Structure 1
């Protein structure tokens, strides 16, 4: 596995995370049918919250000095934290970086966790079930919940576990 660093992002990392966010949202557009805005960007409220809301945190994943992904966490002061966004660039996928990064992020905020994904995203389904089994063997759950404000979409799958 390539050398991985997972660190709390700061203001200087914002431009890098914005570009990673575009890649993340582009990947997800396949499953939600969401096109970019006229300027070519996607909605970024969650990314902005991660830099301005004290209940959120943004993490930058790097290999060496190169960005490899991002993780956004919300609910830092809540009973259950949510991995609100998680992205690994395609060139780094299937190398173990994703699982290693999730382990590091969840270890920094021990307790209950939830993560949502779409059943149509079969790679995400396999990945998140594997993560849950690795972190909380036989002690995780999966349920389906409607997507808020999007009755046209199938429900999201939600995995819950403790780390």
Structure 2
């Protein structure tokens, strides 16, 4: 792994960078959830807003390669029994290099306990990635189930992977 790879908690000064990465993330996700930008060219940003609200239940992270931002991770559920990898994005230029798996390992290690992550079955790369992550972090001790998307009966159910890190 590249020695310049880093993960840090995102602060208010990182917000403009995360907002730009958010547009790329939402653009990528629009293929799977049918989203289109609003009249001003922006996408929905409730999760972005929640990640930076300072509630104590969320933690935003920036994935960096040296001084260049190459992705982000939003974790929610820090005040409850189960953490959720709520939003996860790595720019295309570094995908399939190990950056994503490295970033998930780092985030999960900072918040041990029960974890969940959701993705769409139609996103075949995400399916392969998250199953590989689960097996890496909790070999043979993870589960997968489908759940309806809240307030979106028009969408196929999300696939959810659950695991505990470290293991029992």
Judge same fold: TM > 0.5, yes or no.
yes
Query: Hey, what's the Cα distance between the residues in 1 that align with 2:5 and 2:130?
Result: 19
Question: How many aligned residue pairs are there?
Answer: 163
Partner residue of 2:152 out of 137, 150, 153 = 150
Query: Quick check: 49-58 or 89-98, which moved more?
Result: 49-58
**2:8 matched to 1:7?**
yes
Query: Quick check: 68-77 or 46-55, which moved more?
Result: 46-55
Aligned to 1:40: 41
Give deviations 1:35-84, integer Å, cap 9, x for gaps.
00111111111111111122101000000111110000001011000000
Aligned to 1:83: 85
Aligned to 2:17: 16
Aligned to 1:99: 101
Query: Hey, what's the Cα distance between the residues in 2 that align with 1:131 and 1:71?
Result: 14
Gaps of 5+ in 1: none
Query: Hey, what's the Cα distance between the residues in 2 that align with 1:34 and 1:112?
Result: 30
Aligned to 1:59: 61
The 4+ residue runs of structure 1 with deviation greater than 3 A are: none
Query: Hey, what's the Cα distance between the residues in 2 that align with 1:97 and 1:71?
Result: 12
Query: Hey, what's the Cα distance between the residues in 2 that align with 1:89 and 1:77?
Result: 29
Give deviations 1:79-113, integer Å, cap 9, x for gaps.
00000000000001000000000000011100000
TM-score, with length taken from structure 2:
0.95
Gaps of 5+ in 2: none
Q: Give secondary structure in 2 for the equivalent of 1:25.
A: helix
TM-score, with length taken from structure 1:
0.98
